[in-house]
Chains A and B, each alone.
Chain A
Amino acid sequence: MKSGTISTLIMALLALSFTGCATYQYAKNVKMLSYDENVAKGKSLGPVLGEDCTWTILGYKLGGYPKLERAFASARNQTSSGITDGFHSQRKVSTSDSAVRYMNNVSTEYDGFNAGIVAKNCLIVKGTGYR
C-alpha cells in the first residue's frame, strides 16, 4: 500500500473519531434570545435559570419528556418546576414588568436524579436575564 493511501486512511479515521466524540446540546452559548420584539438594551437581572422536569415514580412517568419551550417559559417567569408540569402542554408566559425580556449567553443542560423508586429528569436553561 502506498504511503499516501495510508496517511489518507489515518486522516479519515482521525476525522471519524473526532466526529464521533462530538456532543450536542440545544444551546451552548447563544448571545441573545429575546422573549419580546423590543430588543433594546435593558436592565440586568443577573443570572436566571428555568427548568422543565419529568418525575418518574415506581417506574411510571408522570407526563411527557421535558420540553424546551416550557423551560424557557420558566426562565422568563422565574418559576420553579412542579411535579405536575409534565401534564401541561404549555406553561403560561408572564407579561408582567418583572418578567425577563431577553437573555444573554444562553445555555441548556440536562440534570436530575434516580433514587430507585423516584426519579427526576430536568431540562435546564441558564443565562443572564434583562428586562
Chain B
Amino acid sequence: MKKIQMIIIASSLTALLGCATPRTLVLRAPAVSMTEISFDAGAKFSSAGAIKSRFCPGDNASTDDGDLNIGLIDELIAKAQKTSGAKYIANAQFFTQGNCMLLEGTSMK
C-alpha cells in the first residue's frame, strides 16, 4: 500500500514539474503580421482584445511550403491571425517554454 502511495506522489510531482516549465521572453515587437507587409499611411485599426497562440514541434504547420523547414514565429503569428481575423498583432511578445513557443499580443482589426 505504501508503495502505491509513493508512486502516486512521485507521479503527481512529475506532473507538477512538467506544468511548471518556465517560459522565457525571447522577443518583443510592437507589430507583427503574416498577411500584410505594410499599411497605407491613413489606415486606422482598433484593438480587438488580447490574443495568445502556441506552437510546438510536431503541430500542424500552416506556413510550411513543402520543404519541411518551419518557422516557429511564422506559425505563431499565422495561427493567431487566423483565429482572430486580425490584420496585425500589436505588442507581440514571444516566449519559449520547453520545446514550444508562445505568442501573446493584441489583435488589431
Residues in A lying within 8 Å of B, measured CB to CB: 18-19, 21-37, 39-42, 67-69, 72, 102, 104, 107-108, 130
Contacts and interface: CB of A to CB of B under 8 A. Distances in A.
Given A22-B64, A31-B34, 4 more contacts: A22-B68, A23-B69, A36-B30, A40-B41
Interface of B: 26-41, 43, 57-58, 61, 63-64, 68-74, 77, 88, 90, 94
Report whether over half of chain B's contact residues are helix, strand or loop; otherwise say mixed: mixed
Given A32-B33, A37-B31, A40-B40, A24 B70 contact: yes
A34 B39 contact: no
A128 to B, nearest CB: 9
Contacts of A35: 29-30
Given A19-B58, A24-B72, A28-B74, A33 B41 contact: no
Contacts, number: 100
A89 to B, nearest CB: 12
6 contacts: A25-B69, A29-B63, A33-B32, A36-B31, A102-B31, A102-B38
Nearest to A104: B37
Contacts of A102: 31, 38
